Chains A and B, each alone.
Chain A
Amino acid sequence: ILNVEQSPQSLHVQEGDSTNFTCSFPSSNFYALHWYRWETAKSPEALFVMTLNGDEKKKGRISATLNTKEGYSYLYIKGSQPEDSATYLCAFTDSNYQLIWGAGTKLIIKP
């Protein structure tokens, strides 16, 4: 059974501070790693898809890195804002090309 683990489960961050969290996935048979942001009462929104070891992607104040050899990805948020409050989910594409999801990191930005 493939497991995708995210840590921490939840995180409180002061507005203006930077933060990061982790997604761990199986390092064998890697195809892709996805990051999504899911705000309450909205649909999950795609942030990044990464496929190559060493990939770094950036979207505004949010960036992500990928290490496929050791099976982890970091998501970084610089200068957190209240609108960053959401659950951040990662998903690993398995050898059947299906997405296996982590349980998410719930980020709460304190004003």
Chain B
Amino acid sequence: DAGVTQSPTHLIKTRGQHVTLRCSPISGHKSVSWYQQVLGQGPQFIFQYYEKEERGRGNFPDRFSARQFPNYSSELNVNALLLGDSALYLCASSLAGDRGVKTQYFGPGTRLLVL
């Protein structure tokens, strides 16, 4: 079975541009979460979606948005990129609206560099 997949794997953008990152969850998983990981720190929660609805949002500006599609795949959009948005963006899926007590399965991440 395929695990969580993310695309692209790497991306270089310039300040002010926007970016769309994509994630496909494990088959049967209905919940997708997005995290930002900066070197030397743990992942920071950005969004969680379950059944196409936003279930939670972390402390990120409105430049960050996301959505989940009927097939449970998800997109993370970041507008007006800043240098500080350079990071590894991780997507994780889990079976249900797990309320944080179920295992999350992570994709390989998208490494974004903003110049």
Contacts and interface: CB of A to CB of B under 8 A. Distances in A.
Contacts of A96: 56
A93 B103 CA distance: 11
Interface string A33-58: 01010000011111001010000000
Contact of B100 (A36, A93, A101, A102): A93
Interface residues on A, range: 20 to 34
Interface stretch (B10-18, B37-45, B64-72, B73-81): B37-45
A97 B106 contact: no
A100 B106 contact: no
B48 A44 contact: no
Interface-centre pick from B43, B106, B108 (highest chain A CB count, 10 A): B43
Interface in B73-114: 90, 98-109
The 3 closest A-B CB pairs, nearest first, are A101-B42, A93-B100, A97-B100
21 contacts: A31-B99, A31-B100, A32-B100, A32-B101, A34-B103, A34-B104, A43-B4, A43-B105, A45-B106, A51-B101, A93-B101, A97-B55, A97-B56, A97-B98, A98-B48, A99-B45, A100-B45, A101-B42, A101-B43, A101-B44, A101-B45
